[in-house]
Amino acid sequence: MSDQLKERVVLVTGSSRGLGKTIARRYLEEGARVIITGQKSDELDHAADDLKQVSEQFIKVAADITDDSQAKKLVDSAIQEFGQIDILINNAGVFKGGEIDQMDVKDFELTFNVNVKGAFLVTRHAVAQMKKQKSGQIINICSIGSKLGMEKLSAYCASKAALARFGDSLKAELKPYNIRVTNVMPHAMNTMGKDIDPDSDDRRKMVEPDDVADAIIMVTSSRDYVQYQDITIFPKSTKLTKTEE
């Protein structure tokens, strides 16, 4: 554990399970103070029970980040408890797939509401506080799908591309306020662990949540004059190619 992240305040959206929970755990291990959040209270309670084994320097806030009033309440709760927000991790996401002519419009709307609108709403309220502090970092979990088209994942890839361009725009906009923005683009992740044979081809094509969390820790513990651009994370055996025509 380094001192770079000790006592820093980190808000991680979508942190009741999967990658978000792993990121929250890693920050707690580094001595940070963390806000975990998710829409389902039971999953959030379960995550809190697990994270208490590492540290109790966190609060949990149930919120639907696609609702502006709840997004604001989430950020306000963080500020009320800890007095500041140093790092925002826009991790919450929905993964909906299917052939374009079969995909339900409601699934398309949900994907963009969570993956794009939710990030926008939380970010706008967090940035207001970061501007007062004249410092902050924002990490957007964009997925490799933001760069490459993926079969039967048109809505998901489009939403992640939108999130990436959102982040790119903020890099320039927020630079005068000493707020840094980085897009992190993981390949397919193994978030089910024990259910996948570690020697299978499918497993070897995945990265582990801890791999992604380690990269985020590296970025956010860097000196304030260092700006990371896009961080792409994928297994060394994977060849990244564009969608076949």
Note if 156 is an active site residue.
Answer: yes
Strand partners, 129: none
Q: How big is the CA angle at 107 (ends 20 and 187), to the nearest 5 degrees?
A: 40
Ramachandran sector of residue 31 (left: φ over 0; alpha: ψ -120 to 50; beta: rest): left
The 10 Å Cβ neighbour count of residue 1 is: 9
How would you label 5-17 residue by residue, b for 16+ Cβ within 10 Å and e otherwise?
beebbbbbbbbbb
Residue 177 three-state SS: helix
The span from the CA of 190 to the CA of 213, in Å, is: 13
Tokens 């806000």 — which residue? 35
The residue among 212, 192, 217 whose CA lies nearest residue 203 is 192
Are the C-beta atoms of residues 147 and 130 closer than 8 Å to each other?
A: no
- Which entry of 156, 177, 225, 228 is annotated as an active-site residue? 156
Which residues have a catalytic role annotated? 156
